[in-house]
Amino acid sequence: MPENERAPRAVDTHCAYCALQCGTRLTHDPAGRVSAQPLPDFPVNLGGLCQKGWTAPALLTVPDRLRAPLVRGPGGTLAPATWDDALDLVAARLTRLRAEHGPDSVAVFGGGGLTNEKAYALGKFARVALGTSQIDYNGRFCMSSAAAAGNAAFGLDRGLPFPVSDLGAADVVLLAGANPAETMPPIMRHLTAPRLIVVDPRRTRTAAQAALHLQPVPGTDLALALGLLHLAVTEGHLDRAYLDARTTGFEAAWQRAAAWWPERVEGVTGVPAADQRAAVRMLAEADRAYVLTGRGAEQHSKGTDTVSAFVNLSLALGLPGRPGNGYGCLTGQGNGQGGREHGQKADQLPGYRMIDDPAARAHVAGVWGVDPASLPGPGRAAYQLLDALGTEGGPRALLVLGSNPVVSAPRAAHVARRLAALDLLVVADFVPSETTELADVVLPVAQWAEEEGTMTSLEGRVLRRRPVLAPPRGVRTDLQVLNGLAVRLGQPAERFPTEPRAVFDELRRASSGGRADYAGISWERLDAGEALYWPCPEVPGGGHPGTPRMFLDRFAHADGLARFRAVDHREAAEAPGAGRPLYATTGRVPAQYQSGAQTRRVPELLAAAPETHVEVHPDTAARHGLREGGLARVTSARGSTVARVRLVPGLRADTVFLPFHFPGEGRANLLTGDALDPVSGMPEFKLSAVSIEPLRER
């Protein structure tokens, strides 16, 4: 059958990229050209797309698309191979490693962009076909702090426990460490609150729209949140009735916050006491108020505590679980929500079940048709997993799906060395990446608009992704890859279905009764246009409506109460000082996404953001001899990166900013370190102590 012959002329689906999962209609003309239009009635994007969404169809025709498996030959170069040869080779080497060194000698690294079906199948493949505990995913670098804090407070983690559209009726929204005007612009159609409060060391486009911009010293958001709680209490805004009826643990949290009076907070964070007071007053006096966190608050070695401090503030004001109010987290990756629910995490089984819970093991093993005792226990969190690769006692082989850790992992040069030390690196992707360059075997897989699947957006709504084109010849789906490997590893083929719908139905059974319950969500219901948010359990007669708004009557802890967490400020893992006088923080630019492996291949996006840059305050530039457009070398204790200088008056003078989407010597993650949050395993992406110097043009 000729390529694309089966494809429909137009399909309604969702964007290739971020967690907003904007509704989009893909149309292809008779010549096979595909274009995207926003779905006008999808309530999240309301007829809007960002530049990435408009141009996403270009991904379908990238010139260097991977179309055949590649195997590294004796000469060290990657050469085309047949699927049978590639899969036979991978399976044989995995089998030998497992026999010689045990199942944990083989590891798996997944991604927050994988569909629910792939995320689920990957977790099952690791635990059943490989028998390894060594699985984690790049969502650990994205969502883990908010997930840990959400679980601790509410007993359940769903990014936004309410629909995005609820934000449109807010009077006040506090955004801590989020810049949605640039990272997910269509959401700004809902962030129309008369008073927006933004916490960010940078004066971003979002901050520029705010009624109040709090610009703390990097790494001090936790102190700021403690100070806001302090003011909520001392200025009489505590919602006592809510506290008594719906929460527990306030006194212990208050004991910590009591020591964070406004002037002390100002001394640590640089945020004027008057602005702190204004922020609390705005939140407390609003009828409808939300506190939202993003990566700026979360990607720290104290990210979980920082999020908990903002959650504590929202609880003190009585927001979570009250209609028209709440706390939420703006998840980043396309399936950042679903990707963390179905078993890719080192410590979890599908349905948010904990892998060390005997009842959870028994349930999931029953669905998988295996002995619960055969399932491994918890493995290493993402950075620890990458750091252990090729070391004594660490994994000797790694299978990567949907991730490019050579660019996106912290301490990137070290991670690349660990990948290079493996006996076997297998990477499945649809385009070459900086990680496929190191691979022993590259497996070309279908992408976004070439296959069926489901995604779960940042508001917990399950969405159908639909293909507009068939995959190119020579390409297989990730599910076919996992099936092919599983069979070669001795598994029955039917245990690893290749049809996404069959995998989704199995996922529903595996999640049934779990905290993220999908049992009542069917493809038929999704295709009929129902807006289904989990939890959506199976009920007699079917038709559970799903749960757009959570926690209205009770939180998910056994006693129904939300928990304050007693947290306190602590220093970051490193601080600027002699020799490295500046903070470096990292983030995104509007035209690129994640490691840039996809968006750098889209001509319009590359033209809009062709290379990395470093944002520097003009005073800082003058002190360091930097000029607009000149090259600079930025150096941390880990290494150096080279970037073009952009003078930005709205940045703190003690801080520089670098986007993390770019490869080679422009990688921002050459600077970032391996300090991890002790609860979530989140690395400290948002803070490195650096020096900066001009570099002559080369």
In 3D space, the residue among 19, 137, 142, 112 whose CA is nearest the CA of residue 685 turns out to be 142
- Record the tokens describing residue 612, joined without a space: 């990395």
CB 693 within 8 A of CB 625: yes
- Record the tokens describing residue 451, joined without a space: 């296959």
Task: Kindly report each contact of residues 353-359 with a partner whose C-beta sits within 8 Å and lies 24 or more positions away, as own/partner.
Answer: 353/514, 353/515
Question: By rule CB under 6 A, what string of x and - marks binding of each residue 53-92 to ligand SF4?
Answer: x---------------------------------------
CB 26 within 8 A of CB 36: yes
**Span from 184-192, 251-259, 270-278, 565-573 in contact with ligand SF4 (CB under 6 A):** 184-192
Which 605-624 residues touch ligand SF4, going by CB under 6 A? none
Nearest residue (CB) to ligand SF4, 18 versus 224: 18
- Report in angstroms how near the CB of residue 11 gets to ligand SF4 at its nearest: 16
CB 590 within 8 A of CB 274: no
Question: By rule CB under 6 A, what string of x and - marks binding of each residue 186-225 to ligand SF4?
Answer: x---------------------------------------
**Span from 16-24, 194-202, 529-537, 558-566 in contact with ligand SF4 (CB under 6 A):** 16-24
- Report in angstroms how near the CB of residue 648 gets to ligand SF4 at its nearest: 23
CB 23 within 8 A of CB 58: no
In sequence order, the 6+-apart residues with CB closer than 8 A to the CB of 490 are none
- Report in angstroms how near the CB of residue 54 gets to ligand SF4 at its nearest: 7
Question: Which residue's CB comes closest to ligand SF4?
Answer: 53
- Report in angstroms how near the CB of residue 306 gets to ligand SF4 at its nearest: 25
- Give the residues across from 110 on adjacent strands: 137
Nearest residue (CB) to ligand SF4, 45 versus 301: 45
Q: Confirm or reject binding of residue 448 to ligand SF4 (CB under 6 A).
A: no
For ligand SF4, the binding residue among 7, 15, 86, 621 (CB under 6 A) is: 15
Nearest residue (CB) to ligand SF4, 48 versus 110: 48
**Span from 178-186, 484-492, 625-633, 670-678 in contact with ligand SF4 (CB under 6 A):** 178-186
Q: What are phi and psi of 644, to 5 degrees?
A: -85, 140
> What is the identity of the amino acid at 107?
A
User: Whole-angstrom Cα distance, residue 515 to residue 437?
Assistant: 39
- Report in angstroms how near the CB of residue 590 gets to ligand SF4 at its nearest: 9
Nearest residue (CB) to ligand SF4, 54 versus 583: 54
- Report in angstroms how near the CB of residue 21 gets to ligand SF4 at its nearest: 5
Nearest residue (CB) to ligand SF4, 457 versus 547: 457
SS3 6: coil
Q: Based on the number of CB atoms within 10 Å of its own CB, is 75 exposed (0-12), middle (13-18) or buried (19 or more)? A: exposed
- Report in angstroms how near the CB of residue 116 gets to ligand SF4 at its nearest: 16
For ligand SF4, the binding residue among 7, 11, 13, 20 (CB under 6 A) is: 20
In sequence order, the 6+-apart residues with CB closer than 8 A to the CB of 506 are 120, 367, 497
**Span from 180-188, 250-258, 422-430, 609-617 in contact with ligand SF4 (CB under 6 A):** 180-188
- Report in angstroms how near the CB of residue 49 gets to ligand SF4 at its nearest: 4
CB 265 within 8 A of CB 271: yes
Nearest residue (CB) to ligand SF4, 21 versus 308: 21
Question: By rule CB under 6 A, what string of x and - marks binding of each residue 29-58 to ligand SF4?
Answer: ----------------x---xx-xx-----
The DSSP H or E segment spanning 71 is: strand 70-72
Nearest residue (CB) to ligand SF4, 20 versus 375: 20
Nearest residue (CB) to ligand SF4, 50 versus 648: 50
For ligand SF4, the binding residue among 11, 13, 21, 504 (CB under 6 A) is: 21
Q: Based on the number of CB atoms within 10 Å of its own CB, is 84 exposed (0-12), middle (13-18) or buried (19 or more)? A: exposed
- CB half-sphere exposure, 282, CA atoms < 13 A: 24
Residues that contact ligand SF4, how many (by CB under 6 A)? 14
Q: Confirm or reject binding of residue 17 to ligand SF4 (CB under 6 A).
A: yes
**Span from 15-23, 216-224, 595-603, 630-638 in contact with ligand SF4 (CB under 6 A):** 15-23
**Span from 127-135, 179-187, 337-345, 579-587 in contact with ligand SF4 (CB under 6 A):** 179-187
- Report in angstroms how near the CB of residue 206 gets to ligand SF4 at its nearest: 13
User: Whole-angstrom Cα distance, residue 222 to residue 302?
Assistant: 8
DSSP conformational letter for 141: G
Task: Kindly report each contact of residues 100-103 with a partner whose C-beta sits within 8 Å and lies 24 or more positions away, as own/partner.
Answer: 101/396, 103/130, 103/131, 103/132, 103/133, 103/376
Q: Confirm or reject binding of residue 22 to ligand SF4 (CB under 6 A).
A: yes
- Report in angstroms how near the CB of residue 464 gets to ligand SF4 at its nearest: 15
Helix 273-285 with 262-269: angle, nearest 10 deg:
120
In sequence order, the 6+-apart residues with CB closer than 8 A to the CB of 27 are 9, 10, 34, 35, 37, 468
CB 325 within 8 A of CB 289: yes
Nearest residue (CB) to ligand SF4, 165 versus 498: 165
- Report in angstroms how near the CB of residue 335 gets to ligand SF4 at its nearest: 11
Nearest residue (CB) to ligand SF4, 254 versus 660: 660
For ligand SF4, the binding residue among 60, 126, 184, 416 (CB under 6 A) is: 184
Q: Please state whether 581 falls in left (phi above 0), alpha (psi between -120 and 50) or beta.
A: alpha
Q: Confirm or reject binding of residue 160 to ligand SF4 (CB under 6 A).
A: no
Nearest residue (CB) to ligand SF4, 130 versus 184: 184
Q: What are phi and psi of 453, to 5 degrees?
A: 170, 180
User: Whole-angstrom Cα distance, residue 671 to residue 666?
Assistant: 10
CA distances from 635 to 15, 201, 661, 698 (A): 36, 20, 18, 18
**Span from 19-27, 126-134, 532-540, 615-623 in contact with ligand SF4 (CB under 6 A):** 19-27
- Report in angstroms how near the CB of residue 22 gets to ligand SF4 at its nearest: 3
Residues that bind ligand SF4 (CB under 6 A): 15, 17-18, 20-22, 45, 49-50, 52-53, 184-186
